Amino acid sequence: MTAFVFYLFAALAIASGAMVVTARNPVHSVLFLILTFFNVAGLFILLGAEFVAMIMVIVYVGAVAVLFLFVVMMLDIHAVTLREGFTKILPVGAVVALVLFVELALVFGTWLMAPDLDAVRGAPTPAVGELSNTQAIGAVLYTDYVYLFQLAGIVLLVGMIGSIMLTLRARVGVKRQNPRTQANRPLEDCIEVKKVATGKGV
């Protein structure tokens, strides 16, 4: 049963992944990308990593893909014009894919060739029955790897500030609202309180 569900999710993930690149309409591409994320989340649940699966859905589907969809919907992109440089870029893409593949193969290869390293693989996560994986992740992330975790946060912060700085421009002639002056207006200038009898209306 588990095997069947695994192959279902895996096949759907690969198929929708392929549709992301081949769909003619960019919006459809993004929607297929969302489907891919969902199937990957399903695979995580099969692995017993429900926390990662939920974070996957919240972060990638709920936030990142929404932004993708925003951009793709707002821009007038046509898949055909996008594809014009396809053959030119293809070798670069192939090289990137090859490097990724080799790296993955190396990781798996080390586990196979050096059995003593295999112990490291399962070490950080305790058995599912002992501790839920949310607690397991928290226990390593905020203790052993707390500096790296903070560093990742700072990298994100820098990225955020950078993108705001790039897009921020001072415009002249904009009438801004000043909430403080509005909130500080005396009550008598703004509203008049009338006593209304219950069920009567004004």
Partner 1 sequence: MAEFWTDFLWPLILILVKILAFILPLLLAVAYLTYAERKVIAAMHLRKGPNVVGPFGLLQPMADGLKLFIKETVVPTGANPVVFLMAPVVTFTLALVGWAVIPVSEGWVVADINVGILYLFAVSSLGIYGIIMAGWASNSKYAFLGGLRSAAQMVSYEVSIGFIIVTVLLSAGSLNLSQIVRAQSGLWYCIPHFPMFVLFLISALAETNRTPFDLPEAESELVGGYNTEYSAMTFAMFFLGEYANMILMSSLCVILFLGGWLPPIAVAPFTWIPGVIWFALKVSAVLFFYLWARATLPRYRYDQLMRLGWKVFLPMSLGWVVITAVALHLFGWLPPRA
Q: How far is the CB of 50 from partner 1 (least distance, A)?
A: 5
CA 83 vs. chain centroid, Å, equals 26
Using rule CB under 8 A, residue 135 touches partner 1: yes
| Total of chain residues touching partner 1, rule CB under 8 A | 28
Binding mask 138-177 for partner 1 (x = CB under 8 A): ---------------------------------------x
Number of H helices, E strands in the chain: 11, 0
Binding flags for partner 1, 59-88, as an x/- string (CB under 8 A): --xxx--x--xx--xx--------------
- Give, to the nearest 10 degrees, the angle between helix 26-46 and helix 65-74: 170
Contacts from 145-151 at CB under 8 Å and sequence distance 24+?
none
Which residues contribute to the site for partner 1 (CB under 8 A)?
1, 25, 27-28, 31, 34, 50-51, 54-55, 57-58, 61-63, 66, 69-70, 73-74, 132, 134-135, 177, 179, 199-201
